[in-house]
Chain A
Amino acid sequence: MATLNEKKTCSERMENFRRFVWNPETKLFMGRTVINWVWISLYYLAFYVVMSGLFALCIYSLMRTVNPYEPDYQDQLKSPGVTLRPDVYGDRGLQIYYNVSDNKTWEGLVTTLQTFLTAYTPAAQHLNINCTSDTYFIQDTFDGPNKTKLSCKFTSDMLQNCSGITDPTFGFPEGKPCFIIKMNRIIKFLPGNGTAPRVNCTYVVSAQANRAAFLLYTQGDESRPLEVDYYPMNGTFNLHYFPYYGKKAQPSYSNPLVAVKFLNITRNVELRIVCKIIGAGITFDNVHDPYEGKVEFKLKIED
């Protein structure tokens, strides 16, 4: 046993290693003859080529089996997510802070909105058709060009006061800012069960513990609710934008939007506001997902 426990000096180890790399007596390179290395490399080369081929074959047949128009399952997409524009994220989610008197603080927000709405100019929407029906736009056949389905037009002017056309600053300098609420696309999702889903924004009053803060928001007036203007009318998403048939079927589809304009925001107070989408089939009570069926954000307007 003693022989195995001999401590080797560093130079001995180096020497051993050198011998391992190239042993001139046995002509072994790293423990093998060169020809042996060639064989083993060839074997592994062949092995990996075969394995890569197998993998490619599997992926190929996978691609052959999936439906190009819609995914096989929507296990995670039971209820649509909701997003807000402008979207500025802080440590704990969305937070929109700006100072009315300092236009540098809100110009970025306005630009975000303007950029976002460029996708909704009449020019950008020219491929889509005008829809007037207030029911689901069910298309069982491919009526559009190149085997596609038709999409309904949504142009920014539908957002009226928040369209950026009449007021390019979206009410930010007045302290009555516009926000755009967008619902995520889910293929073949029919929200509202026949009634158009609508956006509803309120202060967040989750518990009595927040009561003091709530009173602060409302300046002591408990009955003073959040005053909101919704565009289009009533803050609804018209049913003719649903269902969505997927990127391949509706390449020019664009999400319908709802703009909200807050009219009575208390200055210099951080407010927590939540905008929920009310409608059958849309849930907003998933404790893990703060963006499912609702969007919550902090708003602070300073002067």
Chain B
Amino acid sequence: IQDDHKLSTSELEEKYGTSINKGLSSARAAEILARDGPNSLTPPKATPEIVKFLKQMVGGFSILLWIGAVFSWISFGIQLSQGAESAFDNLYLGVVLALVVILTGIFAYYQEAKSTNIMASFSKMIPQQALVIRDAEKKELPADQLVVGDIVEIKGGDRIPADIRLIFTQGCKVDNSSLTGESEPQSRSCDFTHENPLETRNIAFYSTTCVEGTATGIVINTGDRTIIGRIASLASGVGNEKTPIAIEIEHFVYLVAGVAISIGVLFFIISVSMRYKILDSIIFLIGIIVANVPEGLLATVTVSLSLTAKRMAKKNCLVKNLEAVETLGSTSIICSDKTGTLTQNRMTVAHLWFDNQIYSADTSEDQTTQPFDQSSPSWTALSKIVTLCNRAEFRPGQENLPIMKRVVVGDASETALLKFAEVIVGDVMNIRAQNKKVAEIPFNSTNKFQLSIHETDDPNDKRFLLVMKGAPERILERCSTIMINGKEEPLDSEKAEAFQTAYMELGGMGERVLGFCHLYLPENEFPDTYPFDTDSMNFPTSNLCFVGLLSMIDPPRSTVPDAVSKCRSAGIKVIMVTGDHPITAKAIAKSVGIISATSETVEDIAKRLNIPVEQVNRREATAAVVNGMELKDMSLQQLDEILCNHSEIVFARTSPQQKLIIVEGCQRQGAVVAVTGDGVNDSPALKKADIGIAMGIAGSDAAKNAADMVLLDDNFASIVTGVEEGRLIFDNLKKTIAYTLTKNIAELCPFLIYIIASIPMPIGTITILFIDLGTDIIPSVALAYEKAESDIMNRRPRNKKKDRLVNEQLAVYSYLQIGIIQSVGAFVTYFTVYAEQGFLPSTLLGVRVNWENNAINDFEDSYGQQWTKYQRTYLQWTGYTAFFVSITIQQVADLIIRKTRRNSIFRQGLFRNKVIWVGIFSQIGIALILTYGLGHVTALNFTPLRFQYWFVAVPFAILIWVYDEVRKLFIRRYPGSWWDKNMYY
């Protein structure tokens, strides 16, 4: 940034060619606008829609299917030129394959677009207005029309429309939290206070908010040249990493494609060496590829993820990027903000001290009752001071809202006190009206107290009541007596000591402590008409009566401690990263359980053992509170050491930039890191994180843009429910994939046996597509609704290098065991159909060449009957249908066994997941429609199958179920055994 903060007003006027009173001329402003462009941040470059669309067309298995389609067309071309009748079958097959790719591509694209659209609605901001002086007139202009040199006026509540050098201020305070993360409002003046433009008081930054007061300033930077703009462009520089689930799916695609290609090539070689024609071998190759590729699976995965995303949205986690759903599940470290995420983001009275005793106040979200003893007359006095010595007011018209939800005009502490008083003593505004205020000195930083003088509400008491609150030590200085049980007693050193102890104790809890005192002014000295003058202070401000202390804190959300302990049992490390003071940070960390009750920091141990900090064995301390200042001087190794050695870490007084360093440190440990953030400055860290979580309420647009997920209620507990959903979907995707892969073997075996044994083709390529994209789709989505088998929040996060989505066991068990049982079942049906129609199994072997010969129309079966080519083909289609039906029936069993991976189905409950039954019925329904409804459409190769053939594979379906129950039984019975290691996926 330039040195505008050092320049004087006139120098600035000169530099920007403007005038403080008149502003720019409209013509000049238009010129500059044309030169600099509008005052808005350039949105991050979006991938063109067409590129996204094409990506879907070539991603995953699409390439394999394209190859299949191209091969089909090539063989169509060759056969057509040879004049073969069946050439068009290949043309259609190619078209169908291409359609499959295009349709699944469109589907995936649509799903993506749908989830992106949710986010797009977020980024649309309400156009902001700014009050500008131009042509010597005040004008309301859209903020994006501002140019350098414009004079703008700001008042409390406004968002700063650009980077502004202030030239006139009145009680101006800005909230820089979106920039620095520090939630405390900072005052702004016209004075040059710091060399660093970021620290100096006379510059207000774009996108921060003015909390109170008014100010006028010259615009010195607009749009992307603002500080925020630079950070935003920094964020877009942090590359997007692949999500863990994307890596898993890629791994799975490689695996399946590898299997498909190697089997395809192997059998291509086999068929060529068995003297099949090259053209036929190519057609076999297509069949093998189609059989091996689970066409519908990627669409299913997308649907499952978006179902979970929907479920998470209901629980206030809005997922921007579908894959982030699972990333959250594999999270092993959460770097969380304090303010607003762990805490309620509002000051609340937490403790009181009067009558020499500390009382706790209720700090939950809806304070209905306050449990502490309210019978003491000291409390009556204290409550009166709290009520009266307070300038905060409720906005009118909120009588029906709960007190905690009402909007208050006033600063955070005063708001806390107002609400506290309203809860306990009732209608504060009425009390104030009855105790008319006659004089007031507002809080300022020099005297550090606030004072007001009131008439009393007792008509018999004509005295004035002076009430005062402020920094406790300052208040105490002004007191000579202290109220104990309603009686004024002299403030001796013993009582002062008690005060000190209480003050230290409350301060040690990270709370902001205020002292309260009062004085009834003697009626004779201060009659009704006494002219109180706050400038000359013609009333006593010392020898007052000390009444008590109140301490305030931004209390943790009530759901957070539970959520943190859930994280702990789920093996997720929660790290607090905050801009707040270490003491406050530590206190909150302790109260929510980020630092557990028993663990100590190095400093704690030093204090306990009464030895210097340096002598403490650092490894003994499980907790650590790291100050941003220390972090600044640390090397990467030191940071790694801290992240490694301490399980409970709080980073306090950190800048958002340091957040990025912390995230990178965690990632160096191999962790999957979730980061919460709301400020613009958080966006690099959000981008860098494996999953960036932006706050929906407090979050800036830049943060939401950079994040993968938005927490609608800003609540940490929602992250934990998100983690649970993410872990569940990972488990369920495993089941879905296992389910889908199984039948691929039953689809593949026919081709292999056909090539090797030369039997009539058992199943057609089109029929396979009807399984993959017809009967199997709804059941595999239904597995996404499966409930968790055990408490998934009681196990450690998955190791992204070891716990793969598709591991060896899963593939092997599905392919080589269940898949084989299915194939056997389907082949038994196939042979049954052929045998009962006249072709006994022995006749079928080696029959392929004559069977497929168009010139043989008196082909003899096992009984001496003679068949024309069409009669044989029709029987072959009946065989396809039978094979199809058998696979479908066995897939029902497969679906049921996939409900669990370890537990017995009976423990999981057959009927708990109703969607599974929808799946089963849809599966059978689709099969029935295809066989009997469309059985007469010859192009589909289905025939109305005799009903009994539906039951041939049933024993195999039962076998699958029983076998899997046995597998699960042994896994449960013998954990860690050979069986467990090889059979559990």
Q: How far is the CA of A87 from the CA of B874 in the complex (A)?
A: 23
- Which B residues touch A224, using CB under 8 A? none
Q: A31 an interface residue at 8 Å Cβ cutoff? A: yes
Residues in A129-175 with C-beta less than 8 Å from chain B:
none
Q: Are A66 and B840 in contact (CB under 8 A)?
A: yes
Q: How far is the CA of A31 from the CA of B981 in the complex (A)?
A: 13
- Which A residues touch B242, using CB under 8 A? 1, 4-5
- The segment from B22-30, B127-135, B485-493, B830-838 found at the interface with A is B830-838
Q: How far is the CA of A59 from the CA of B858 in the complex (A)?
A: 27
Q: How far is the CA of A82 from the CA of B824 in the complex (A)?
A: 37
Q: Are A55 and B828 in contact (CB under 8 A)?
A: yes
- Which B residues touch A219, using CB under 8 A? none
B85, B672, B836, most chain A CB atoms within 10 A: B836
- The segment from B255-263, B359-367, B653-661, B864-872 found at the interface with A is B864-872
Shortest Cβ distance from residue A54 to the other chain B in the assembled complex, whole angstroms: 6
Kindly identify which residue among B816, B824, B832, B837 contacts A75, using a CB–CB cutoff of 8 Å.
B837
Chain A 277-298, CB-CB to B under 8 Å as 1, else 0, gives 0000000001011111000000
- Which B residues touch A182, using CB under 8 A? 858
Shortest Cβ distance from residue A65 to the other chain B in the assembled complex, whole angstroms: 9
Q: How far is the CA of A160 from the CA of B672 in the complex (A)?
A: 93
Chain B 808-844, CB-CB to A under 8 Å as 1, else 0, gives 1000000011001100100110011001111011000
Q: Are B854 and A3 in contact (CB under 8 A)?
A: no
> Given contacts A59-B831, A92-B85, are A246 and B863 in contact (CB under 8 A)?
yes
Q: Are A51 and B821 in contact (CB under 8 A)?
A: yes
Q: Are A71 and B863 in contact (CB under 8 A)?
A: yes
- Which B residues touch A72, using CB under 8 A? 836-837
Q: Are B83 and A55 in contact (CB under 8 A)?
A: no
Q: How far is the CA of A288 from the CA of B869 in the complex (A)?
A: 10
Shortest Cβ distance from residue A142 to the other chain B in the assembled complex, whole angstroms: 16
Q: Are A76 and B871 in contact (CB under 8 A)?
A: yes
Residue on A with the closest CB to B84? A91
> Given contacts A5-B242, A31-B808, are A59 and B867 in contact (CB under 8 A)?
no
| Total residues of chain B contacting the partner, CB 8 A | 51
Shortest Cβ distance from residue A99 to the other chain B in the assembled complex, whole angstroms: 22
> Given contacts A1-B242, A72-B836, A291-B857, are A48 and B820 in contact (CB under 8 A)?
yes
- Which A residues touch B121, using CB under 8 A? none
> Given contacts A73-B836, A76-B871, A83-B857, are A248 and B866 in contact (CB under 8 A)?
no
Q: How far is the CA of A5 from the CA of B800 in the complex (A)?
A: 13
Residue on B with the closest CB to A1? B241
Q: How far is the CA of A81 from the CA of B667 in the complex (A)?
A: 74
Kindly identify which residue among B808, B816, B831, B872 contacts A44, using a CB–CB cutoff of 8 Å.
B816
Q: Are B857 and A2 in contact (CB under 8 A)?
A: no
Q: How far is the CA of A40 from the CA of B983 in the complex (A)?
A: 11
Q: Are B946 and A75 in contact (CB under 8 A)?
A: yes
> Given contacts A1-B667, A54-B824, A288-B938, are A184 and B837 in contact (CB under 8 A)?
no
Q: A89 an interface residue at 8 Å Cβ cutoff? A: yes
Q: B221 an interface residue at 8 Å Cβ cutoff? A: no
Q: How far is the CA of A191 from the CA of B828 in the complex (A)?
A: 34
Q: Are B690 and A247 in contact (CB under 8 A)?
A: no
Selected A-B contacts with CB under 8 Å, 26 pairs: A1-B241, A3-B670, A40-B982, A48-B820, A54-B824, A58-B828, A59-B841, A62-B828, A62-B835, A62-B841, A63-B835, A66-B835, A71-B861, A71-B863, A74-B838, A77-B871, A81-B857, A81-B858, A81-B868, A185-B865, A246-B864, A288-B874, A288-B938, A289-B869, A291-B857, A292-B868
Ranked 7 nearest A-B pairs via Cβ: A247-B864, A81-B868, A184-B866, A289-B870, A1-B241, A71-B838, A89-B855
Q: Other than A1-B667, A76-B872, A248-B864, give 17 A-B pairs with Cβ distance below 8 A.
A: A1-B672, A4-B242, A5-B241, A31-B808, A39-B978, A55-B827, A59-B828, A71-B861, A74-B837, A76-B874, A77-B867, A82-B857, A184-B868, A185-B864, A253-B864, A288-B938, A292-B871
Which residues of B pack against A, CB within 8 Å?
Answer: 83, 85, 241-242, 247, 667, 670, 672, 690, 800-801, 808, 816-817, 820-821, 824, 827-828, 831-832, 835-838, 840-841, 854-855, 857-858, 861-872, 874-875, 878, 938, 946, 959, 978, 982
